[in-house]
Chains A and B, each alone.
Chain A
């Protein structure tokens, strides 16, 4: 499966960066994520519970980051094992850039699944990935907003960002769930894990 696209994050790049570097934020933002542990400077282990159609499993993912260009982009590759459910593996190029109304996260993902997930869930992979990514951005946007209110300096810096949506009616709809219906990043497993780890790596 190959997917590419971009998502508007309702916050300026530095704040997105800061929040994404908080493992706890990522753990909360990634749907079904139970743990994120750094294994070395560029590697992480994550545990994510995923349900694709009739297949439900806990995936243990190993993720490696490369081409790190903080705070602008990286390449992430990983593999998640889900026991009887099979496995997911893949990679993604992700980049962040400033834009009106916040930060644009662009992604280009290649991923594949194996075992029961491929056998039963292959036709559900795209829609599941879309939903997981949508959930991720929804959670993430909410978490970013919270952290803003708790961190006065960040809030100060980012006043223009929250303002942007209100100043532009078209853009104001972007951060809502509607915008996340666009083709999204993460494949069921590898993608979720990938996003998390990317941000974690930046934190390191």
Chain B
């Protein structure tokens, strides 16, 4: 029986009403009585010693309340920021995690590094005062490129990190791979740059810190994807306040894409300083600060080799990657190029053996951490570029080479050589579905037509896989994670039958208020409009690990389902009492409880009322109808699919037009098809942006950020995209009660390889991302 506004229905997003009418309440919309404004003085140098900071003129400037430097935080016992995932190098040594102070003490290590925090009556006064701070810098030679950072004689970003190395990590069986290569019939080699990108959420990061001297409690409003994790870090590691004296609220948040997972210096400084000045302090990043300080994504340089037998079957895969960490280790930076990357290098294929090594390096750049897909787009990019290239080398159709090597639908569970156990999937189905969607067989005719018009046409595929639903706590703990990755929920009936759902997941654009309400509408038969979803406040929600890694539905939704199951169990007991039957005889379906074989029934609303007004109630049962649940996933989920891109290139201008896009994705069960399609659209758009337009550029010599505004950092627009063809297939996930896999990152994971394969197909030569018009034009001219 399908339920109105239940599972599988494209319910319109209820939160959009407030967003599109200007009634969303984002952090900068919040103001407190007596509020002051904070502003950070930032380093204009990529790498410099601070010889002296003279605050004397600035401290007496109009409106200045106080000014803080790193020395003040140190004196107050405030620690630096930490990385929450430990990675061990090949030799067993732990990764190098140099100090990451919120405000610089004796050196600045990237342009934009925080030097001083000015608190004033108005933002303008704070900025004016910043002009009066005299910092005596001694500029040092900097390094920004990851390959140069690894070179002998490169400037040393941290004393602690010899050769700028954070870690040199490996996974897989080197000997087996070496043996496979000696027996290979064909070997394809490729060198790839995965360009550094800036996440660019629409809402910049912001923080509002306040301290209540009466209770000794701090409250931090912050643009976070995981407020509980922020509280945990602020309390346990930074030492601002114990968790019971620290409330973290993430209100409406306008996009995150990963960059709002992390704990940053700004909110840490703002909440700490609010006690020092005795007044609330608000800080909101301007767009320049976003470019300078929001953790960037990607930035890998990779060499990969794949060995094949005479029939085109994969024999072995060898990958060597240099990953740029930036100037400091961000919150989860170390995990991204290791356990979120190399564990997915198996792709959708039967690979007998894999060996990958990853060297992570420090540079004088903004820290790099998770960005939509986090490691998995980098893995897919390597696997799918080399598969396409290998097919061309061997004169095979690239889709046929993939079909020949796919793990077959009857092979699950499938253990890869890089520690993952794929639970279910049907890769041939998504591939053939995508080919049908885009009329793959008709491509030759379309290419001929383009050629007749003087245009180059190309088609390229990307058969991606990701590990989502992050993650089983024991598994990630064994790999170095400093936290568990379960999720919590509370389903609370109100006496009149409406429901409030509290979730530790955090919505910053994903539509949780709608999707999670659909779950409860379906499972408990409560009208959709009578369900409220509450998230983002550590004092309201029991606990939460937040939203990233396409985990909200698979883990957070499962926690809600588990709480709903508890509700049903209790409601059955109440119903049995009220209907004078045995609890074993009570049947439940979508909120209706009936006595088996009779027409006696009660609705969940009637039962909720009885639970809160227990005049006629089981003597051995607690009143009330509210249940908590924690859910720890049994395995990762493995969304997978095929995207196929088709492009037409004008060789005279180098302009790439993405003329068609087919996305066939297996997300398992789908709760709201419209929201899923929107997530695919958004992900593909970001992937196309990375492949075609976006790229963070630092000046090699000075270390200056040259792409610091939208004049120089090119974001994709609607006219860069075709109408996307999106379809889903379904092999339900066996490891969670909803059978869902997650869809938030798929597009960004699949798209770059598909698009670059199409572009290189059209050009007949390899180029790196971003495929700007200039780069494409040069390649086309030299064809």
Contact = CB atoms under 8 A, between A and B. Distances in A.
Given A83-B130, A87-B44, A114-B44, A119 B288 contact: yes
B737 interface: no
Contact of A115 (B111, B131, B701, B712): B111
A120 B127 contact: no
B704 A114 contact: yes
Contacts of A84: 41, 127, 130-131
A114 B42 CA distance: 12
A119 B711 contact: no
Contact of A116 (B288, B699, B701, B706): B288
- Counting chain B residues whose Cβ lies within 8 A of the other chain, the interface size class is 20 to 34
Contacts of A115: 42-45, 111, 704
A118 interface: yes
Contacts of B708: 116, 118-120, 122
A84 B128 CA distance: 9
B709 interface: yes
Interface in A63-95: 83-84, 86-87
Contacts of B709: 119-120
B288 A114 contact: no
Contacts, number: 53
Contact of A118 (B41, B131, B699, B711): B699
A117 to B, nearest CB: 8
B568 interface: no
A114 B701 CA distance: 11
B685 interface: no
B42 to A, nearest CB: 8
Nearest to A118: B704
A91 to B, nearest CB: 14
A112 interface: yes
A147 B561 CA distance: 88
A49 B239 CA distance: 44
B198 to A, nearest CB: 12
A87 B45 CA distance: 9
A115 B292 CA distance: 10
A26 B291 CA distance: 38
Given A86-B44, A114-B44, A114-B111, A119 B131 contact: no
B702 interface: yes
Interface string B34-46: 0000000111110
Interface string A106-137: 00000011111011101100000000000000
Interface residues of A, number: 14
B123 interface: no
Contacts of B704: 112-115, 118-119, 122
Contacts of A87: 44
B292 A119 contact: yes
Interface string B722-754: 000000000000000000000000000000000
A114 B328 CA distance: 21
A86 B43 CA distance: 9
A40 B41 CA distance: 32
B705 interface: yes
Contact of A119 (B45, B127, B701, B705): B705
A88 to B, nearest CB: 10
Interface in B105-142: 111, 127, 130-131
B702 to A, nearest CB: 5
Nearest to B703: A114
A108 B711 CA distance: 28
Contacts of A118: 111, 699, 702, 704-706, 708
A115 B704 CA distance: 7
Nearest to A124: B711
A111 to B, nearest CB: 11
Nearest to B39: A84
Nearest to B710: A120
A83 B128 CA distance: 10
A115 B42 CA distance: 9
Interface in B214-273: none
B38 to A, nearest CB: 15
A69 to B, nearest CB: 29
B712 A123 contact: yes
B111 A119 contact: yes
A203 B708 CA distance: 41
A118 B709 CA distance: 10
A112 B702 contact: yes
B187 to A, nearest CB: 42
Nearest to B132: A83
Interface in B12-67: 41-45
Interface in B680-730: 699, 701-702, 704-706, 708-709, 711-712
B702 A114 contact: yes
B291 A119 contact: yes
Contacts of B699: 112, 118
Contacts of A83: 130-131
Contacts of A86: 44
Nearest to A79: B139
Given A83-B130, A86-B44, A119-B292, A112 B705 contact: no
Nearest to B709: A120
A68 B772 CA distance: 46
Nearest to B44: A115
Given A112-B702, A118-B706, A123 B44 contact: no
Interface in B532-555: none
Contacts of A116: 44, 288, 708
B701 A112 contact: yes
Contact of B288 (A112, A113, A120, A122): A120
Contacts of A120: 288, 708-709, 711
Contacts of B131: 83-84
Contacts of B701: 112
B139 to A, nearest CB: 9
A123 B42 CA distance: 22
B118 to A, nearest CB: 11
A153 B705 CA distance: 53
A66 B291 CA distance: 39
A9 B706 CA distance: 35
Nearest to A86: B44
B130 A119 contact: no
A142 to B, nearest CB: 33
Nearest to A53: B711
Contacts of B712: 122-123
Interface string B609-641: 000000000000000000000000000000000
Nearest to A120: B709
A17 B127 CA distance: 42
A197 to B, nearest CB: 21
Contacts of B291: 119
B141 to A, nearest CB: 13
B202 to A, nearest CB: 19
Contacts of B292: 119
Contacts of B41: 84
Nearest to B41: A84
A114 B113 CA distance: 13
B711 A123 contact: yes
A158 B44 CA distance: 47
A190 to B, nearest CB: 13
- Which residue, of A83, A84, A119, A120, has the highest number of chain B Cβ atoms within 10 A? A119
- Which residue, of A84, A86, A87, A112, has the highest number of chain B Cβ atoms within 10 A? A84
A83 B708 CA distance: 17
B305 to A, nearest CB: 38
11 contacts: A84-B41, A112-B699, A112-B702, A113-B704, A114-B704, A115-B44, A118-B704, A118-B708, A119-B709, A120-B711, A123-B712
The 9 closest A-B pairs by CB, nearest first: A119-B708, A115-B44, A118-B704, A83-B131, A86-B44, A114-B44, A120-B709, A122-B706, A112-B702
Given A84-B130, A113-B704, 18 more contacts: A83-B131, A84-B41, A86-B44, A114-B44, A114-B704, A115-B42, A115-B43, A115-B111, A115-B704, A116-B44, A116-B708, A118-B699, A118-B708, A119-B111, A119-B292, A119-B704, A120-B288, A123-B711
